[in-house]
Amino acid sequence: MTTDYDVLVIGGGAGGLSAAGIATNLGAKTTMIERDALGGDCTWTGCVPSKTLLKAAKVVHQARTASAYGLTDQSVDVDFAGVMDHVRQVRQDVYEEADAPEIFEDLDIDVRQGNAHFIDSHTVAVEREDGTTEQVTGQYIIVAAGASPLVPPIDGLQEVDYLTNETLFELDEQPERLAIVGAGPIGTEMAQAFARLGSEVIVLDMADRILSNDDAELTATLRETLEEEGVEYMLEAQVEQVTQSEGTITISAGEKGDVEADTLLLATGRTANVDGLNLDAAGIDYTRRGITVDDRCRTSQDYVYAVGDVTGRYQFTHMSNHMAKVAVTNALLKIPSKIDADHVPWVTYTEPELAHVGAHAADLDEDGVSYETYHFPYDQLDRAITEGATIGQIKVHAKSLTGKILGASVLGERAGELITAFTIAMRNGVTLRNIGDTIHPYPAYGEGVRRVADQWYVQKQSPTFTKVLQTVFGYRGPVLKYGPDEIV
């Protein structure tokens, strides 16, 4: 028997949940197919457990460094198994409150569990664990199948007990020595978390710096902070081989030497879940990177859309949600809607946090764009001073004449929240002048957004204009001139 739907969603992660929810709210008869548990990577193996673990590690760190706040440093015995139980309980709570099937079934969304693959361009087979198969069809199909950890072709890896983000949060015994391959967001966050919990941590990466997609100056500061907390780095290291003997894992990195560890975590990127979907049967174009989509999230079949990690375009939960909205808007409302690729924020949730939106200086230089860079350091932000969180700065690239924001990076406490202000500003044409003229609460971290805008005002003030004012009004004060890197 075949059941027909207006919208058929493959995948129940962030993108699939959003797509199904929006579709049913627009009156479409909708089904959602998920092979595991609803919630996807974000709930089970990504955002939720990693940030919960980071919080536990932060509490330990604050207790051990309490003297920084005039208190007494505390010796903390970490119950690692208890911490991991807490991590797993939090993700279970999130699942039950936001992702459980009955929540969506109450919206009249038919939730199916099983492996989905295309029979033809409108028909999908759902294979259940009990061996039965059901066919469903959809006028519109949205593929939100997600991605999985990328396991690089390292010699000997298949004979080693390694971890990825999909298995990391099932640990109950704390690694004494943890080696992490990959200095991207996942590797960097987990390096700090485990170091703070008491593990010896070393991070290997073939690049010459960590977080290569972020501002180089800010990542250098973050690296120094993590090194002070005990994280070691072996950069420009090509991992050639791994071996395991009696519980010890040896990672060979050529000229860089060997690293020994008890536990190996691979944080080497993600690969789109295209295998098993039988995309060829539906005539859907794809590559090794993922399903090919245009800026409206359409595949090579006009009535089939793909969103989120399975497209290989973005690896962010918030972009999965955004793409789901774009796809459903185009499919059901027939209103042209495109991916907002120019205002994509991303955040690494270390302490301090690192966030970015828009263009980097290198991008602007390569494109020949004229701009100025405005800074404001956290050590001059009163709220940061009161909380002892003075590491970092806010950096904005903008047009000198108009204050139009071209890109922004923030390293510091609550950077993930502050970057939202710049994202909204860029999307809606709000300039540094507008931000500087807007009242911000004091003392708050958000004041830093206004203070960096003030630097634009300062640089706009010319000695010539001051002299004109003095001549016209008879003012007798000094004629000030500020250097481009001077903070006021």
- How many C-beta neighbours within 10 Å does residue 208 have? 9
Look at residue 380 in the predicted model and tell me its pLDDT: 97
Look at residue 482 in the predicted model and tell me its pLDDT: 82
Eight-class DSSP state of 147:
E
Helix axes 185-197, 47-64, angle to 10 degrees: 40
DSSP 275-341: TTS-HHHHT--B-SS-B---TT-B-SSTTEEE-GGGGTS---HHHHHHHHHHHHIIIII-------T
Write the CA distances from 127 to 135, 183, 323, 438, integer angstroms.
Answer: 9, 38, 27, 56
Name the nearest CA neighbour of 446 among 414, 486, 407.
414
- Chain segment 187-217, per-residue pLDDT in tens: 999 999 999 999 999 999 999 999 999 999 9
Per-residue tokens: 327:
């796809």
Ramachandran quadrant class, 124 (left: phi over 0; alpha: psi -120 to 50; beta: rest): beta
Look at residue 84 in the predicted model and tell me its pLDDT: 98
Eight-class DSSP state of 109:
P
Strands (E), 107-246: 110-113, 115-118, 123-127, 133-143, 147-149, 162-163, 177-181, 200-205, 232-235, 241-245
Q: Do 470 and 358 touch, CB atoms closer than 8 A?
A: no
Look at residue 1 in the predicted model and tell me its pLDDT: 63
**How many H-runs (helices) and E-runs (strands) does the chain carry?**
16, 22
Alpha carbon distance 327, 304 (integer Å):
9
Strands (E), 144-188: 147-149, 162-163, 177-181
Write the CA distances from 294 to 2, 307, 337, 344, integer angstroms.
Answer: 30, 11, 11, 17
Read off φ and ψ for residue 339, nearest 5 degrees.
-65, 135
- Chain segment 263-295, per-residue pLDDT in tens: 999 999 999 999 999 999 999 999 999 999 999
Query: Three-class SS of residue 225?
Result: helix
Name the nearest CA neighbour of 92 among 153, 44, 23, 148.
44
Alpha carbon distance 1, 20 (integer Å):
23
pLDDT tens-place values along the chain, 488 residues long: 678 999 999 999 999 999 999 999 999 999 999 999 999 999 999 999 999 999 999 999 999 999 999 999 999 999 999 999 999 999 999 999 999 999 999 999 999 999 999 999 999 999 999 999 999 999 999 999 999 999 999 999 999 999 999 999 999 999 999 999 999 999 999 999 999 999 999 999 999 999 999 999 999 999 999 999 999 999 999 999 999 998 899 999 999 999 999 999 999 999 999 999 999 999 999 999 999 999 999 999 999 999 999 999 988 999 999 999 999 999 999 999 999 999 999 999 999 999 999 999 999 999 999 999 999 999 999 999 999 999 999 999 999 999 999 999 999 999 999 999 999 999 999 999 999 999 999 999 999 999 999 999 988 877 888 899 999 999 999 988 888 778 88
Element (DSSP H or E) covering residue 35: none
In this prediction the pTM is 0.95
Longest dimension (CA), the chain: 91
Look at residue 463 in the predicted model and tell me its pLDDT: 86
Rg (CA), the chain: 25
Per-residue tokens: 402:
């108009």
Look at residue 202 in the predicted model and tell me its pLDDT: 98
Query: Strand 372-377 relative to strand 393-398: parallel, antiparallel, unpaired?
Result: antiparallel
